[in-house]
């Protein structure tokens, strides 16, 4: 079993969030999110980007003051895309945990588990206010599992025959 009791499914969904992050046109931080139900079915995905129909101009994407006011975060896009009750579900986010504003949406949507890589990037830690995200998760009972990014590089667990389980 991997760190924090995570398994091959967790690795797959985190890898999928990483893959989806590549769809973002943000030149500095590409984020992907995958929401999964208890039966390991993908409910919704999202990546950070400008709203549908808004031009992805170089000026907007390269000017932080403009970009920060216009970009829809990956977690928000996934929650909006789901268009259903997300109570008890898990959200996988790559390459960072949800910012404090996205954490409020995760909580309000009823998502009960967040799995994301840890980071030591102080600029992101400060600007995303991760301490507030953690504080709110603690208060509301949302489980936050932060994994070392190398978790994706680990060898997957080998399958065992049903009679050997």
Active-site annotation, residues: 75
Number of C-beta neighbours around residue 158 at 10 A = 6
For residues 92 and 11, give the distance between their C-alpha atoms in angstroms, rounded to a whole number. 10
Calculate the CA 67 to chain-centre distance: 19
The helix (run of H) or strand (run of E) holding residue 132 is helix 130-140
CA nearest neighbour of 89 among 136, 124, 42: 42
């Amino acid at each position: 079993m991997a760190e924090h009791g995570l398994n091959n499914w967790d690795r797959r969904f985190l890898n999928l969030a990483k893959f989806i992050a590549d769809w973002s046109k943000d030149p500095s931080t590409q984020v992907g999110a995958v929401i999964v139900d208890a039966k390991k079915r993908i409910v919704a995905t999202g990546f950070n980007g400008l709203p549908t129909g808004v031009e992805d101009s170089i000026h907007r994407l390269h000017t932080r003051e403009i970009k920060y006011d216009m970009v829809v975060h990956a977690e928000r896009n996934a929650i909006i895309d789901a268009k259903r009750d997300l109570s008890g579900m898990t959200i996988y986010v790559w390459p960072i945990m949800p910012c404090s504003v996205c954490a409020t949406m995760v909580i309000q949507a009823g998502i009960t588990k967040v799995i994301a890589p840890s980071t030591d990037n102080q600029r992101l830690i400060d600007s995303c206010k991760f301490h507030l995200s953690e504080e709110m998760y603690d208060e509301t009972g949302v489980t936050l599992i932060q994994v070392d990014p190398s978790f994706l590089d680990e060898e997957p667990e080998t399958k065992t025959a049903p009679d050997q389980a």
